[in-house]
Amino acid sequence: MLDQKMEAAINGQINAEIYSAYLYMSMATWFDAQQLPGMSHWMRVQAQEEWSHTFKFYKYVNERGGRVTLGAIDGPPTEWDSPLAVFEAVAAHEAKVTGLINGLMDLALEIRDHASSSFLQWFIDEQVEEEASAADMVGKMKHAATNPGTILMLDNELAARVFNPPVWLNI
């Protein structure tokens, strides 16, 4: 049985994951308006990944006998000054999500919920990858800011990103 504190905290994280997907879709629409379809595609794939995280948490709460409850989701920003600003926002957002995941792990350790601790380790590892990916994109965008032709090459590169649904994602 899932501890009530952990259930409430994970429900908060589910809402945070939904917001992340919403944020990345907003970024995708901004890139579409800038006629950068590859970057828009990258953001849509990122949104799909966030939805998969949502369902991983959803499934876990149900498997542990808890109940998923959804709250209101704030509207995301809709305007950025540049592609670099968008990816800097991605990096800041992923750092925030890392903090949220770490807070869940802290709670699991505090209440000695070993099952949740084990479950959350996947997300901790995932956030290392997410932050590294965001940092990589910020670096590339900084380079592109000083070399204008690079932005179109990056746009083409980002169009190749593929979402590979995890095996456990059965929705």
Spatial contact of 135 and 47, defined as CB atoms under 8 Å apart:
no
Write b or e for each residue in 132-151: b if 16 or more Cβ atoms lie within 10 A of its Cβ, otherwise e.
ebbeebbebbeebeeeeeeb
| Residues 66, 58: Cα–Cα separation, whole Å | 9
| Residues 104, 168: Cα–Cα separation, whole Å | 21
The pLDDT score that the predictor gives to residue 167 is 67
For 10-71, the DSSP string reads HHHHHHHHHHHHHHHHHHHHHHHHTT-HHHHHHHHHHHHHHHHHHHHHHHHHHHTT------
Spatial contact of 3 and 113, defined as CB atoms under 8 Å apart:
yes
Mean pLDDT, to the nearest integer, of 154-164? 87
- pLDDT tens by residue, 3-25: 999 999 999 999 999 999 999 99
Reported pTM? 0.92
Q: Domains of the chain, with CATH numbers?
A: 4-70+92-158 (1.20.1260.10)
